[in-house]
Structure 1
Amino acid sequence: MSNRFPEPDVDARAGRLETTGYAALHVLLFVPVVVTFVLVVVSAVLVAVWVGIALLLLFVPLMRALVQAHRWMSGRILGAPTTAPYAPLPGGLLANLRTQAADPMTWRDLLWMLWAMTFGFVVSLLSLVLFLGVVTLPIWWYGVGPLMRARASVDRALLTVGRTERLEQRVEALTRSRAVVVDHSAAELRRIERDLHDGPQARLAAVSLSLGLADDLFDTDPEAARRLLNDARGTSSTALGELRDVVRGIHPPVLADRGLAGAVAALAIDMAVPVELALDVPDRLPAPVESAVYFTVAECLANTAKHSAADQSWVSLTHADGVLRGEVGDDGRGGADPRRGSGLPGIAARLAAFDGTLTVSSPAGGPTVVSWEVPCASSSPKTMPS
């Protein structure tokens, strides 16, 4: 069991009286658990006649609230946190209901309710009876802890996922993110090919043609040849600038020259909105991670400039315990939605390739905060940008 769940903190375990209080809460919540279980099951049956959908929209959140209360109590009794590993909800009543119905944790909640209505209820009731009985008080003194911890262990086993399930979820998430990254990389290659074909390649072809014509005209019309050479020089300069733009889109030179902190500071200088920087990262991090985080900051700052109407923005980067954490925020109007083509899904996919995560908080009226975590090691000391 120790391989599946966090090690309990013995000092953080609830004491005898607190544990008995949780047993009393279990008993008091017995009727609500039974009623909620029956209502959810009946509503699921009534889905065939549509009225069940409306009932499930009401009772599934009620079931999760009750289950969460017991999940919290089991964590307090055991002295170890018990998380709620529900699938994230996409938004929208029907979409949320479909996600909840397909979520294995919803079915585990129902299984737990069966346990809580039977053997779990007996354990809690027994602990309470031992406390209330004068003769049984010594038994309560020594027995309430093991009894309630046994019940809490079963609660935790049913209401959260173990190490095997977490690994399975991790593999599934990495498989999805790899597929997204592969698609993103293929799209990037097509974009680079298109940019090279439509820009530098066409201009270099024009330079070659101009040089050929100039070579033919040197003897007969030197002035025309000179004009063609001047045109070729201008065209080659333009082609060189376009090549630099393409290279900058692949790996910015400033990132290679100054590292992540310096490159982010350069981005902030170009912003019309004042940007407050808090950068505490090593001189050098793995190049792919630096590139992914740089483009993450660049995309977030671009969104701030285009959409937020903000007066102030901030960027923070920290590296500790092998994890690079970052945040970009602004005091603008808020309402940023990653599903509306803001570029955030692309950078989330880029970070996912490194087992990173990205979260967005943007309530109406602001502020907007985009934060992420990327596991990575460093081989150089931390410095602040000059």
Structure 2
Amino acid sequence: MDGDRRAEIARVGLVTCLRGLVQAVLALAVGIPLFVMTVLSIAFIPLGVGVFLAPASLSALRSFANIQRMWAAEWSGVPVPLPYRPEPANAHNPFRRLWWMLSDPATWRDLLWLVVNMPVGLALGLLPACLLVYGVEGMFVAPWLGQITAYGWGPFWPLEAWGIVGVVAPVALGALLTAVSLPVGPWILKGHALVAQALLSPARTALAERVRELTETRTETVDASAAELRRIERDLHDGAQARLVALSMNIGLAEQLMKQDPEAAQELLAEARSASGQALTELRDLVRGIHPPVLAERGLDGAVRALALSLPLPVEVGVDVPGRAEAPVESAAYFAVAEMLANVVKHSGAGRAWVRIEHAGDRLRMIVGDDGVGGADPASGSGMRGIERRLAAFDGTMAVTSPSGGPTVVTMELPCALSSPKTSPSSGTG
């Protein structure tokens, strides 16, 4: 067991040396060009060209910082959460994208980390390998080199020309240094990860803002859930429950008339049968409003297509989602699309509508558009506000573009991880 443990320590130490060398090389080979490119692109913003160059360089900086976050977690067990603000729906606009990045405090923390990481990453990255190399040099090179030349070589040169001491002392110190370097290397690498964690993690102000947003979202979600429960209770009381009470009364009356007036009893039973069918239909509609069975069976793709077929205007549906989202996220996405299509039918005066659903970058994007009169305002109606609350419960966003005269385009996004990948996406017309 001791031999296996020593072999594992040696393996981990060697891997740590390689990882440290990779970090040291990237700290300079990537850090210096990226820093120069980022600073110049920001300086060129007043000239116009920086509007396009700065987002590209800042995106590269974020990618480089995200690599360090990943390595810190995987190599040293040091988690470094992502501090970036959510990407706005209109980020394709270069000015909006530039403002989104420059106004995010995490961007400037990334830039500070890039500057600090050049010397720190170089020093801490090289240190494990240097300790190991100098230890090996002390055991196998320094004693004999000192006997050949009067100048010696390496960190042991003062001892190398002292006869037998010049042989034994470097070997002993080299062995000690080699033995220490293997278990100490991972701790040095972890020190580098802790530096990254201190600079790349969300700031306290960002965390406080996030707590405030989550508190507001939780309150809105609780209110929306309470309103939904009241709606279900009202629908049950005014619909299916009333029909079932009437059904029970008709059946009881039919039992009393069965011997005295069989024809009247038969009419009451016929009414009861019709009432039971209507009650069953209302219960099915109510269940469908809570969680459509087609959504559980066929997923978001099939549910949206079935919804489009039930509308009184043509709806083009395109879905590119290579898998299934978690049930709550899938349900929120479905009802957001359903509410938007209901608004199209009620208010837009459109002749056609379209739905695009895609998954990219761990986000589910839903775009609902129509060729109606436009002028949609989320602040003026409860429908869109309800969608915003539903999406906000999952850290989702909604953006509305609806100039007077149309068209109206609503873009909704949800953070989403997929499972159960499908063989191919599909699209078509509903």
TM-score normalized by the length of structure 1: 0.59
Letter in 2 for 1:384: S
Q: Matched residues in 1 for 2:421 and 2:36: separation? A: 43
Corresponding position of 1:294: 334
Q: Matched residues in 1 for 2:39 and 2:300: separation? A: 54
Q: What secondary structure is seen at the aligned counterpart in 1 of 2:225?
A: helix
Contact 1:323 1:375 survives alignment (8 Å): yes
Corresponding position of 2:58: 80
Q: 1:15 to 1:205 in 2, by over 3 A?
A: closer
Q: What root-mean-square deviation, in Å, do the aligned CA atoms of Structure 1 and Structure 2 show?
A: 3.6
- What does residue range 215-364 of structure 1 map to in structure 2 within 5 Å? 215-341=255-381, 343-364=383-404
Q: What secondary structure is seen at the aligned counterpart in 2 of 1:355?
A: coil
Q: Matched residues in 2 for 1:77 and 1:312: separation? A: 36
CA shift digits 1:131-190 (9 cap, x unpaired): xxxxxxxxxxxxxxxxxxxxxxxxxxxxxx963333322221121111111001101101
1:22 positional shift: 6.5
Aligned length in residues: 261
- The structure with the largest alpha-carbon Rg is 2
Question: Relative to structure 2, which stretch is displaced further, 315-324 or 9-18?
Answer: 9-18
CA shift digits 1:353-372 (9 cap, x unpaired): 11111111112222211112
Q: 1:373 to 1:250 in 2, by over 3 A?
A: same
Q: 1:209 to 1:304 in 2, by over 3 A?
A: same
Contact 1:281 1:319 survives alignment (8 Å): yes
Q: Matched residues in 2 for 1:313 and 1:294: separation? A: 16
Q: What secondary structure is seen at the aligned counterpart in 2 of 1:219?
A: helix
Q: 1:327 to 1:215 in 2, by over 3 A?
A: same
TM-score normalized by the length of structure 2: 0.54
Corresponding position of 2:13: none
Letter in 2 for 1:305: V
Letter in 2 for 1:343: G
Corresponding position of 1:157: none
Q: Matched residues in 2 for 1:342 and 1:331: separation? A: 22
1:244 positional shift: 1.1
Corresponding position of 1:47: none
Corresponding position of 1:378: 418
Q: 1:175 to 1:226 in 2, by over 3 A?
A: same
CA shift digits 1:4-24 (9 cap, x unpaired): xxxx9754545699589769x
Q: Matched residues in 2 for 1:294 and 1:20: separation? A: 41
Identity, in percent, stands at 54
- What does residue range 60-139 of structure 1 map to in structure 2 within 5 Å? 76=54, 79-80=57-58
Q: What secondary structure is seen at the aligned counterpart in 1 of 2:372?
A: coil
Q: 1:259 to 1:78 in 2, by over 3 A?
A: closer
1:332 positional shift: 2.3
Q: Matched residues in 1 for 2:369 and 2:271: separation? A: 46
CA shift digits 1:41-65 (9 cap, x unpaired): xxxxxxxxxxxxxxxxxxxxxxxxx
Corresponding position of 1:30: none
Contact 2:329 2:416 survives alignment (8 Å): yes
Q: What secondary structure is seen at the aligned counterpart in 1 of 2:324?
A: coil
Q: 1:19 to 1:264 in 2, by over 3 A?
A: closer
Q: 1:324 to 1:235 in 2, by over 3 A?
A: same
Q: 1:326 to 1:77 in 2, by over 3 A?
A: closer
Contact 1:261 1:283 survives alignment (8 Å): no
Contact 2:353 2:369 survives alignment (8 Å): yes
1:212 positional shift: 1.1
Q: 1:219 to 1:338 in 2, by over 3 A?
A: same
Q: Matched residues in 2 for 1:263 and 1:244: separation? A: 16
Q: Matched residues in 1 for 2:38 and 2:257: separation? A: 102
1:269 positional shift: 1.8
Corresponding position of 1:201: 241
Corresponding position of 1:365: 405
Contact 2:315 2:355 survives alignment (8 Å): yes
